[in-house]
Structure 1
Amino acid sequence: MSDGWNSRAVHGDAQVPRTAGAVSPPIVQTSTFAADSAREFADLALEKRGSGFYTRYGNPNHAQVAAVLADLEGAEAATVFASGMAAITTTVLALVRAGDHVVLQRRHYGGVPSLLLNLLPKFGVTCTQVDQTDVRAFAAALRPRTRLVLVESPSNPLLDITDLRAVSALARDSDALTVADNTFATPVNSRPLALGADLVWHSATKYLGGHSDLSAGVLAGPAALLDRIWDTAVITGAVLGPFDAWLLLRGIRTLPLRMRQHNANGLALAHAMRAHPAVANVYYPGLPDHPGHATAAAQMDGYGGVVSLELAGGYPAAERFVDGLRLARRAASLGSVETLVVHPATMWQAILHADQVEDAAMSPGLIRLSAGIEDTADLVADVTRSLDAL
């Protein structure tokens, strides 16, 4: 098979059995599967990450989308979940126990520090947050009982860059596993496993699905490690429905095509925003003056469609800017075909403590804009028009 991204997205599940003659795989909308004998029933019940026993244990639609995602990430295997938070929560619960320690970068999607700082201490697990832009900070945070190092690059919402190769090497030398959130980059733009990470996860609700019509999570990595996590996944029951798995597969078929436009729109908007006097700061790793640009250029093939900007007028300016946009929708999430815009300081107050919001540097004037696949000129004109009105 070709190594091209389009071909892999379309044919990455070629080895997974499907209904004869069905070009589009059928939705296997069943909760349970019948066995022909007691021996077969027992074998199916014990099979790791199977697809023919009980949908909480696995489903043919799960197997198909997991095969494509594993191929795109360069992983031995992949597993799907009901959401991105289900994927990372299950992973952490499976791999740590009381007395263990986790290293987490300071700027990360809000649900992850909420999990590690607010929930895990109840079970005797400690966490140290570090500046993700400083490799030495990761080295200093590692302890004998460190089991996991959680990274996200680019980060949400300020798009800081983590040196994935350097951090993964440090973790490996300390017998810790590196778990990388690849939601913002997608495998089209970055492959953390090739840079040394042990596991990669996504909120597949975003770019992988791409159409704001599903909730899903993905975890990819070595099969033996996924089997350990699968045991916990069966218990927690954060199962992806067959129809959502089918929708996710359909979305991934066009992921490489969509990412070209997301990348182009993100870069064009970043340049337009940086040139506007109403904008105090622009956060986008594709800009040459971004502090992490050199590292991003070394480990990414594109910079994505998410651009964050800080407006000089603070909260009032942020509200006026969002209200003035015609093509963007005020909505949570990102990575969809339509442009979405959020005010992070408002959105994340529900899941973070006040001091954690401050740590994330979410000023009142910060806006996160996720560029869709609209025409580049139309998006630039829309954003410029709204900025001019300030």
Structure 2
Amino acid sequence: MSKKKLGLNTICTHIGEIKDEQFKGAISPIYLSTSYQFDNVDVKRYPRYFNTPNQEHLVKKIAALEHTEDALIFASGMAAISHMFLAFLQKGDHLVVQNTLYGGATNFIREEFSKYGIEYTFTDGYDVSDFEAAIQPNTKLIHIETPSNPLLTITDIKAIASLAKSKGILSSIDNTFASPINQNPIDFGIDLVMHSATKYLGGHSDILAGAVAGSKEHIERIWNVGKNLGGSLSDFTVWMLERSMKTLTLRVKAQTKNAKKLAQFLDNHSAIAKVNYPGLKHHPQHELAKSQMHDFGAMLSFELVEGIDAMAFQNQLNLIKSSMSLAGVESTMLLPAETSHALLTQDERDAVGISNQLIRFSVGIETFRDLKNDIKQALIKIKTASCA
């Protein structure tokens, strides 16, 4: 049966599994060996070459979900994006990159690119005209993130892909926030899709991983860098990730359903100054999000009104965890200014709209009523304390 005809739950459950031919177990066996026979074999396997049995099979699942020919998995999301950049950018080349980007990626570009002689330009905005204005004669790659972290801005994927192709430039995207369940950028012409697999692909806050998906030609080029830099993933984690992805569709759909209702609740609360969620009709890119996303995702952010201490609010939460990272089955909140964007200066955060009142909300699979009540009681407590 063609993979394109399989449903998402079927792909998540069965594509990329290893058949247990010996004992007929229902799940993929795990191969922990770091040493394999090299003679009289079809594949000379070596963990650093990304071709152990568990690695080789898992990427089939990722590629099937992202509608690509191939994929690679890495030891972290930052390993994935750095390998991708270094595979297609060399001394004298130029990168055009969206200005609202994950803070770790922004920091990597600013701190490491000069060492390699790679030039870059952050766009002034996220309209296609902003990207076109940033292109230079030596531009080799355009990189976007949509929805963005943590402001949930939406970039026109098709327009950026078309612009890149018209200039003979490659395009890449960080698809972590949407997940392949809610967005498939390859269908709009993007060349390379990366994920922090720590997030939705893993989904249980217990593994660290990254992934890049694309054509066989592009993935082979990234592999050539990867085998030298050594950013491969342990096979136990690979096995954990394959196991976790079996429930990816179920988890993301449940989280997205909760996020829609919580965004509406927060949007109507007097203690909330602003809610950033593309599913809200007043979101400036709501219609664009509808045109390129299957659904609006489970990430949102909101700003508390002035006078309410953001950290104190989080300290009053009982159910929702104040925690780093995102996309686990449990709901979490954090302050981007203190975590994901802490490496940026205050001026840099102000320039991209990261206020000290901003809270990023990763919505989990808990019962909506319980999440709503937890937020309500925390706001009541912090408002009462501020009036005392």
TM over 0.5: yes
Tell me the secondary structure at the aligned position of residue 48 of structure 2: coil
- Asked if structure 2 preserves the Cα contact closer than 8 Å seen for 1:82 and 1:238, the reply is yes
Q: Is the 8 A contact 2:19 2:28 kept in 1?
A: no
Matched residue type, 2:364? G
Calculate percent identity across the aligned residue pairs: 40
**2:12 is equivalent to residue 9 of structure 1:** yes
Please state how far the C-alpha of 1:355 moved relative to its aligned partner. Answer: 3.4
Structure 2 equivalent of residue 177 of structure 1: 170
1:289-309 alpha-carbon deviations (Å, 9 max, x no partner):
001111100001111111101
Between 269-278 and 110-119, report the one with greater CA deviation. Answer: 110-119
Of the candidates 348, 352, 355, which is equivalent to residue 356 of structure 1?
Answer: 348
Q: Out of 125, 142, 155, which is 1:149 matched to?
A: 142
Partner SS state of residue 374, structure 2: helix
> What are structure 2's unaligned runs of at least 5 residues?
384-388
Structure 1 runs, 4 residues or longer, greater than 6 Å off? none
Q: Does the Cα contact within 8 Å between 2:336 and 2:360 map onto a contact in 1?
A: yes
Note the C-alpha offset of 1:182.
0.5
C-alpha distance 349-13 of structure 1, shift in aligned 2 (>3 A): closer
Q: Does the CA contact (< 8 Å) of 2:203 and 2:327 recur in 1?
A: yes
CA contact (8 A) 1:266 1:306 kept: yes
Task: Tell me the SS of whatever aligns to 2:339.
Answer: helix
Does 1:323 find its partner at 2:351?
Answer: no
Matched, 1:28 2:21: no
Q: Secondary structure at the match of 1:161?
A: coil
Q: Is the 8 A contact 1:132 1:162 kept in 2?
A: no
1:94 aligns with 2:87: yes
Query: Per the alignment, in what secondary structure is the counterpart of residue 356 of structure 2?
Result: coil
2:102 and 2:264 mapped to 1: Cα distance? Answer: 25
Q: For 1:126-171, what per-residue CA distance to the aligned partner results, in whole angstroms no more than 9, with x for missing partners?
A: 1111144311111111122111111110000000000000011101
Query: Which runs of structure 2 are paired with 1:153-168 in the superposition (5 Å)?
Result: 153-168=146-161
Query: TM-score normalised to the size of structure 2?
Result: 0.94
Aligned to 2:269: 276
Please say which of residues 317-326 and 182-191 is displaced more in the overlay.
317-326
Whether 1:367 aligns to 2:359 is yes
CA RMSD of superposed structures (Å): 1.5
**Between 230-239 and 321-330, the greater mean CA deviation after superposition:** 321-330
Q: Which residue of 2 aligns with 1:188?
A: 181
Q: Which of the numbers 98, 111, 117 marks the counterpart of 1:118? A: 111
Which range moved further: 184-193 or 323-332? 323-332
Question: Post-superposition shift, 1:229?
Answer: 0.8
Give the Å deviation of 1:357. 2.2
Deviations 1:326-345 (A, max 9, x none): 11111111100001111100
| Per-residue deviation, residues 27-60 of structure 1 (Å, max 9, x unmatched) | 11111211344xx4xx745xxxxxxx11111211
TM-fit CA distance, 1:350 = 4.3
Question: C-alpha deviations, 1:178-227, integer Å up to 9, x for none?
Answer: 11111000011000000110000000000110000100001000011100
Shift of 1:351: 2.7
**Does residue 299 of structure 2 align to residue 306 of structure 1?**
yes
What CA distance in whole angstroms lies between the structure 1 residues aligned with 2:282 and 2:183? Answer: 20
Cα separation, 2, equivalents of 1:288 and 1:136: 24
Equivalences, count: 377
Q: Distance in 1 between matches of 2:310 and 2:109?
A: 30
What's the CA shift for 1:384? 2.2
Check the 8 A contact 2:336/2:342 in 1, yes or no. no
Query: Distance between the aligned counterparts of 1:293 and 1:349, measured in 2?
Result: 25
5+ unaligned residues in a row in structure 1: which ranges? 46-52
Inter-partner Cα distance in structure 1 for 2:157 and 2:104: 21
